[in-house]
Amino acid sequence: MRFVLTLCLSALLVIGTGCGSSESPPAARSVTDALGRPVSVDSSVERVVSLAPNLTELAYAAGGGDRLVAVTTADDYPPAVDTLDRLSALPVDFEAVTAQRPDLVLATDQVNPPGDTDTFEALDVPIYFFSFSSLDDVFDGLRTMGSLLGTEAAARDSVRALQRRLSCLRVRTDSIPLPERPRVLVLIGDQALYSFGAGSYIHTLVEAAGGRSITDSLDTEAPTLSEEFVLTEQPDVIVGAWGSSYNPDTLLAHHPTWDVVPAIRNGRVYSLPPDLLLRPGPRLVTGAARMATRLHPTLAPASTSCPRDTVTRTASSTTVSSAP
Amino acid sequence: MKRPWLVGFGLVGLLVITLGGTVAIGGTPIGWSAVYRVVGHHLLGVGGPIDPVTDRIVWNLRLPRALLAGLVGGGLAIIGVAMQTLVRNPLAEPYILGISSGASASASFFYLGFLPPVLSKSLTMSVAAFLGGLATITLVYLVARNGPRVSVARLLLAGVAMSALMGALTSFVTFSSPEPDKLRAVLFWLLGSLNGTRWAQLPIPAFTTIFGLGTLLVLARPLDAMLVGEESAQSLGMPVEALKRGLIVLAALVTGTLVAVSGAIGFVGLIVPHAVRLLVGIPHRRLVPLSFLVGALFLCWADLAARTLLPAQELPVGILTALCGVPFFLVLLRQRSYQFG
């Protein structure tokens, strides 16, 4: 009893808030994040700090971008982030985050160490962790973002639009028979062969783009492939997250034994902007659409009932980026 | 006197079997017959058409890697022998004395683009690693020297301190470089790895290692005399100071060129000479060649374990050699009465 009292007193001294009383801000609700932690969030969130670029994109897609006050130094999308404050996320700059006086910090276990929650709790900064392993997680995350930021309706619309674009893509690729679906290897690194293992959202993207991902049955979540693996698997297409200006010849220079791999032999090494593949966020659908144009250059155009914007945007940027 | 020859022939046989085995074992299951058809096709020109994928895996990925493992293991082991004779203490070793870390730091400076390439990239890398290793060991040796004698405590402490400094420098340049694969580069230079070995990487380390082996064999008698004591070696008319300087340069040369292709792999030069001394005693004409063979065997097996221990993942081989080496080092450190022989 005395111990609890001392704890209350010291908490009072340090933080200056009541202990065990009901004086907490009006109508705070408790939500459970992806780590299974209860997080107490104000009903009206006004100052949000995002600790990962994909969370920033999700916040904007959910219609709550105006609540963001600071993002990471790696953020570059949407352009509106240019006016926001920047802070270091890896390792996280606790001082800078606290100085923003946020009423919610957004984090994801793919970027931020879950152990940081203890420090944030001690600082009395509410932090919510997201986790994305499938494309559905991204849509769920978008809805969650809407409910956290108080923009449920906008988030729902956004999810619906994304799902529509995805199903439009699927309609076009579903008719492709299995033998014509290329076996695709998606790589993150060109020298060290970082890739995606079982349970990753990337396999859903490849499948929606009309291909078959060859790493979907690997046990490790983030495998580093061996050159042997690629040689024996013989992928028909290699898609890399190396940016639009990547020269595909570099890949063969790094891995000279791959001259017998069909993807290299047939000149089917494509590089896409990393953000479209590596950020589990709203632009993954654009990534899938771009991948589809590479896997199936002669793919039938989208039907008129589908949103044209993705397709035309994809087509125009493809011409820019396809120059090797 | 039959025993050393017997041991030697046994080890050569074992090394051939090991090289054959490590080439046949790997992440991709390939039948032994297919593996040896590829090897036979390249070496003897026999055998019909071979599968190009198997060919690349066996001939271009596994074989150069196995050979490099042998070279690096053998080279580090004989340099361990040379260093231990130089300071007359069994605890000396290129990794512990900081040569590997110095070479690693210097090579990583070059690798990450902080130093300009001269002539070819691999040659410059080797030269940079050599100079880094030489600078480090010279400093360590000068700190530890006390008149004609070398203080072992000071030698080890200076070596450990320089290793830490050079490791910090390596990490610093790696993290401050724009290179995206930072973590991988740090792992490579600090822990060592034979991943991605190409045939083109083999000639320089092969040349220096064979050169080192030959030199130490020629110097077998002076080295034996050094072990007895510098005074007696001097009284036999040997240029002891020149010999010592030569050994230091040789150690930096071999270690540097090996580090340039494999990163800093530790403790091979500590374990192997000790084990070989137990087998055949201290005379260098037996110790040097047998240490080379045992070192080659040891690293071939360590690399095989590094490749196969975790499914679909590869460990830096330096982790495994450290796991074997550090307990060994501590036991040796404890046994103060350890004498050569």
Q: What pLDDT does residue B181 have?
A: 65
DSSP one-letter string for B137-185: HHHHHHHHEETTEE-HHHHHHHHHHHHHHHHHHHHHHHHHS--S-HHHH
Which residue(s) pair with A185 in the sheet?
Answer: A238
Q: What is the ipTM of this complex?
A: 0.73
Which residues make Cβ contacts (< 8 Å) with residue A15, sequence separation at least 6?
A124
B221: contact with A, CB 8 A cutoff: no
Identify the closest residue of chain B to A191 by CA–CA distance: B181
Identify the closest residue of chain B to A217 by CA–CA distance: B312
Q: State the smallest CA–CA distance between residue A224 and chain B in angstroms.
A: 6
**Cβ-based burial of A266 (10 A; exposed 0-12, middle 13-18, buried ≥19):** exposed
DSSP one-letter string for A114-167: TTHHHHHHHTT--EEEE--SSHHHHHHHHHHHHHHHT-HHHHHHHHHHHHHHHH
A219: contact with B, CB 8 A cutoff: yes
Which of B50, B60, B315 to mutate: most A Cβ within 10 Å? Answer: B60
- Please, what are the domains in chain B? 31-333 (1.10.3470.10)
The encoded tokens of residue A47 equal 């100052």
User: 3-class secondary structure for B225-244?
Assistant: HHHHCHHHHHHCCCCHHHHH
Task: Please report residues of A whose CB lies closer than 8 A to that of B181.
Answer: 189, 191-192
Segment B58-92, tens digit of pLDDT: 898 899 999 999 999 999 999 999 999 988 888 88
Q: State the smallest CA–CA distance between residue B174 and chain A in angstroms.
A: 16
A274: contact with B, CB 8 A cutoff: no
Task: Please report residues of A whose CB lies closer than 8 A to that of B27.
Answer: 226, 228-229
With an 8 Å Cβ cutoff, are A234 and B53 in contact?
Answer: yes
| Nearest residue, CB atoms, B28 vs list A223, A224, A232 | A232
Q: What pLDDT does residue B219 have?
A: 94
> Which residues of chain A have a pLDDT value below 50?
1-25, 309-324
Which residues make Cβ contacts (< 8 Å) with residue B152, sequence separation at least 6?
B87, B89, B91, B144
The helix (run of H) or strand (run of E) holding residue A29 is strand A29-32
- Please, what are the domains in chain A? 25-158 (3.40.50.1980), 177-295 (3.40.50.1980)
Q: What pLDDT does residue B123 have?
A: 85
The encoded tokens of residue A165 equal 């674009």
Task: Please report residues of A whose CB lies closer than 8 A to that of B199.
Answer: none
Q: What pLDDT does residue B89 have?
A: 85
Q: What pLDDT does residue B228 have?
A: 84
Identify the closest residue of chain A to B200 by CA–CA distance: A256
Three-state secondary structure call for residue A63: coil
Which residue(s) pair with A129 in the sheet?
Answer: A107
Q: What pLDDT does residue A15 have?
A: 42
Gap between the Cα atoms of A18 and A142, Å rounded:
34
Query: Whole-angstrom distance between the N-terminal and C-terminal Cα of chain A?
Result: 72
Q: State the smallest CA–CA distance between residue B50 and chain A in angstroms.
A: 13
Identify the closest residue of chain A to B180 by CA–CA distance: A189
Q: A283-320: string of b/e by CB count within 10 Å (b at 16+)? A: bbbbbbbbbbbbbbeebeebeeebeeebbeebeeebee
Find the Cα–Cα–Cα–Cα dihedral B229, B230, B231, B234, rounded to 10°: 130
The helix (run of H) or strand (run of E) holding residue A32 is strand A29-32
With an 8 Å Cβ cutoff, are B53 and A260 in contact?
Answer: yes
Segment B5-55, tens digit of pLDDT: 888 999 999 999 999 889 988 877 888 888 888 888 888 887 677 888 888
pLDDT at B312 over 70: no
The dihedral of CA B136, B140, B143, B147: what is its sign? Answer: negative
A93: contact with B, CB 8 A cutoff: no
Q: What pLDDT does residue A305 have?
A: 67
The encoded tokens of residue A238 equal 């290699």
Q: Cα A182–A185–A187 angle (5° rounding)? A: 150
With an 8 Å Cβ cutoff, are B56 and A260 in contact?
Answer: yes
Which residue(s) pair with A195 in the sheet?
Answer: A187
The encoded tokens of residue B330 equal 């501590």
| Nearest residue, CB atoms, B61 vs list A219, A220, A227 | A227
Which residue type is seen at A319? Answer: T
Q: What pLDDT does residue B341 have?
A: 42
The pLDDT confidence band at residue B235, using thresholds 50, 70 and 90, is: confident
A91: contact with B, CB 8 A cutoff: no
Q: What pLDDT does residue B284 have?
A: 94
Gap between the Cα atoms of B81 and A114, Å rounded:
48
Task: Please report residues of B whose CB lies closer than 8 A to that of A234.
Answer: 53
The helix (run of H) or strand (run of E) holding residue A107 is strand A104-108
**Cβ-based burial of A13 (10 A; exposed 0-12, middle 13-18, buried ≥19):** exposed
Find the Cα–Cα–Cα–Cα dihedral A261, A267, A273, A277, rounded to 10°: -40
Segment B247-283, tens digit of pLDDT: 999 999 999 999 999 999 999 999 999 889 888 888 9
Three-state secondary structure call for residue A94: helix
A191: contact with B, CB 8 A cutoff: yes
B52: contact with A, CB 8 A cutoff: yes
**Cβ-based burial of A108 (10 A; exposed 0-12, middle 13-18, buried ≥19):** buried
Three-state secondary structure call for residue B3: helix
Q: What does pTM read for this prediction?
A: 0.80
B196: contact with A, CB 8 A cutoff: yes
The encoded tokens of residue A209 equal 């783009």
| Nearest residue, CB atoms, B28 vs list A192, A229, A260 | A229
With an 8 Å Cβ cutoff, are A228 and B181 in contact?
Answer: no
B314: contact with A, CB 8 A cutoff: yes
Which of A217, A227, A259, A265 to mutate: most B Cβ within 10 Å? Answer: A227
Task: Please report residues of A whose CB lies closer than 8 A to that of B56.
Answer: 231, 257-258, 260
- Residue A89 phi, psi dihedral angles, 5° rounding: -100, -20
The encoded tokens of residue B12 equal 């050569």
The helix (run of H) or strand (run of E) holding residue A213 is strand A212-213
With an 8 Å Cβ cutoff, are A189 and B56 in contact?
Answer: no
Which residues make Cβ contacts (< 8 Å) with residue A279, sequence separation at least 6?
A53, A54, A57
Q: State the smallest CA–CA distance between residue B82 and chain A in angstroms.
A: 36
Which residue, A187, A185, A163, is CA-closest to A282? A163
| Nearest residue, CB atoms, A228 vs list B28, B181, B311 | B28
Q: State the smallest CA–CA distance between residue A258 and chain B in angstroms.
A: 8
Q: State the smallest CA–CA distance between residue A6 and chain B in angstroms.
A: 44
Task: Please report residues of A whose CB lies closer than 8 A to that of B53.
Answer: 231-232, 234, 260
The encoded tokens of residue B48 equal 């019909």
Which residues of B, range 151-180, sit inside 8 Å of A by Cβ? Answer: 180
With an 8 Å Cβ cutoff, are A228 and B57 in contact?
Answer: yes
Segment B143-201, tens digit of pLDDT: 988 777 778 888 889 999 999 999 999 888 887 876 666 667 777 788 888 888 889 89
Which of B38, B53, B194 to mutate: most A Cβ within 10 Å? Answer: B53
Which residue, B249, B285, B304, B273, is CA-closest to B70? B304
